[in-house]
Structure 1
């Protein structure tokens, strides 16, 4: 009854995929979550009191409308504590501010959403101005990536395997969110 209106299942319990490939197999096991958390680039795993942790969270589709819930959830998580429990308590933190497109959207001092969320439409057209141009692309993976090709895992990553996986993920995000 509440699952249709509650945001929890839409964000964290995405449904099993029903889209089939031309061979009748499922292309993905389940719909992707409508968010991605990008870790900080410093690879730091230990934080001392007063250290600052900054990360990026990308919201897709209607998940953008849930930004106040994400802010509240992170704020509550900070008050309850995260990580290894010492004397029954995790490490506490507080959410200082949330920014989008270089604009502060939420500030702990004010305690409310300050501005409308500046949404960005992604456009492929901007990169397609010169069809005959050659370019070299270097892709650096900053988090682990595991892709199957022809039903097996390979240490090397052919370009077409990566691109096909990216297209499947993008089309799945578009279809579900």
Structure 2
């Protein structure tokens, strides 16, 4: 694989913040978040849990707010509980992503996406403020390809990238309320505030969507753009 066109290998984990991020949590309140591990990183779940436990004693954020890790769940299964302190990982789930794109006998339809956290998507080294469908597809394919190659099977995908992207250009924006939202976060490691703006809100595409659905639904889980490791680029399909 030619790494010359990629700046770095993507992290095989995503930390999704709570939906009410930005609020102040008082003593005794619970803060819930999601952790998504990809490929070989699943084997390191116990280390992630121990890291979160240790982080609670050190303190989180600028004010070094301390916490206790009460439990970890995988669906209904308890993976870790503070009372017995045993780690019982669940079975990993599979994302089925098609490597075959069939554009014959496909009818046009709409798909509506809502970007929940800031989507910082680069195209030709510039941040995207209008997310055309082919840029969405190209960015998702690059991310999924790299996660698969570096953290799963070390195999190249069978996608015919140029052909797929050309077909994606035929899908148009039908409605767009997405816009750039400025946002800052504080970096405890660097001791500075960092500008991390990106796209939020909704965008509707119209065209032959069906062949692209497997990578779009995978993107719901794995996010898109820069800063995915701490939850940026999260979207959901709402229609």
- Fold agreement, TM-score > 0.5: yes
Post-superposition shift, 1:133?
5.2
Q: Does 1:153 align with 2:127?
A: yes
Q: Which has the higher contact order (CA 8 A, sep 6+)?
A: 2
Q: Aligned with 2:11: secondary structure?
A: coil
Post-superposition shift, 1:172?
0.3
2:2 is matched with which residue? 19
Does the C-alpha gap of structure 1 residues 52 and 165 become closer, same or farther in structure 2, counting only changes over 3 Å?
same
Q: Does structure 2 conserve the Cα–Cα contact (< 8 Å) formed by 1:98 and 1:104? A: yes
Post-superposition shift, 1:70?
0.4
Q: Does 1:46 align with 2:24?
A: yes
Post-superposition shift, 1:149?
2.5
* Cα deviations by residue, 1:68-94 (Å, 9 ceiling, x for unpaired): 100000001001111224xxxx21101
1:171 is matched with which residue? 145
Does the C-alpha gap of structure 1 residues 154 and 65 become closer, same or farther in structure 2, counting only changes over 3 Å?
closer
Post-superposition shift, 1:116?
3.6
Question: What RMSD in Å do the two structures reach over aligned CA positions?
Answer: 2.0
CA distance in 2, matches of 1:153, 1:64: 31
1:124 is matched with which residue? 97
CA distance in 1, matches of 2:113, 2:79: 31
Q: Does structure 1 conserve the Cα–Cα contact (< 8 Å) formed by 2:45 and 2:89? A: no
Q: Aligned with 1:83: secondary structure?
A: coil
Q: Aligned with 1:155: secondary structure?
A: coil
* Cα deviations by residue, 1:30-68 (Å, 9 ceiling, x for unpaired): 000010111111234311111111111100111110011
Tell me the matched-pair count.
146
Q: Specify which structure has the higher proportion of strand.
A: 2
2:61 is matched with which residue? 83
TM-score, length-scaled by structure 1:
0.74
CA distance in 1, matches of 2:54, 2:124: 44
Q: Aligned with 2:106: secondary structure?
A: coil
CA distance in 2, matches of 1:116, 1:52: 22
State which drifts further: 137-146 or 69-78.
137-146
State which drifts further: 116-125 or 61-70.
116-125
2:72 is matched with which residue? 98
TM-score, length-scaled by structure 2:
0.56
Name segments (4+ residues, structure 1) moved above 4 Å. Answer: none
Which sections of structure 2, spanning at least 5 residues, go unmatched? 152-239
CA distance in 1, matches of 2:107, 2:27: 50
CA distance in 2, matches of 1:92, 1:65: 27
Post-superposition shift, 1:19?
2.2
